[in-house]
Amino acid sequence: MLPRDYTWLTAQNLNTEADVIAAAATIYFNDDLDEATTEEELDSLVTAAHKNEIDLATADIITQLEDRDDTEDAPVTYSWVHLNEFRLFELHNRCFAWSNSGDLRDIIEEVP
């Protein structure tokens, strides 16, 4: 399973920079959050990433999200049915999330 912008939003699932960017996209492109709340949530995400030894700053994340290709403007949203399936695949190490085309190319090399 190769879902775009998917991450199981718990600190232990923020294992790579791609996981953090996927989680950040969900926050950054959420129209229901005001600017202050968005920044607060991104800062919290960066703190969780640092605990997992992923060295990113909030500004780095925002830059990456703003530099996405036109075809990758906003994150994909999934229904609870899809999310449940992704989690099942993830529990069996068969879910490989990606955020941009470069990540997709890299992650395909990991597919068994």
Q: Residue 78: its pLDDT value, please?
A: 75
In this structure, is residue 69 part of a structural domain?
yes
d(CA 46, CA 41): 9
In this structure, is residue 6 part of a structural domain?
no
pTM, whole model, 2 decimals?
Answer: 0.58
Q: List Cβ neighbours of 55 (8 Å cut-off, separation of 6 or more).
A: 49
d(CA 64, CA 93): 26
Per the structure, how many domains does the chain have? 1
- Please say whether the beta carbons of 23 and 9 come within 8 A: yes
In this structure, is residue 5 part of a structural domain?
no
In this structure, is residue 72 part of a structural domain?
yes
d(CA 48, CA 16): 12
Q: Residue 28: its pLDDT value, please?
A: 84
In this structure, is residue 1 part of a structural domain?
no
Provide the domain limits for residue 46: 11-108
Residue 98 has pLDDT above 70, yes or no: yes
Q: Residue 13: its pLDDT value, please?
A: 66
Picking from 46, 41, 81, 83, the residue whose alpha carbon sits closest to that of residue 61 is 46
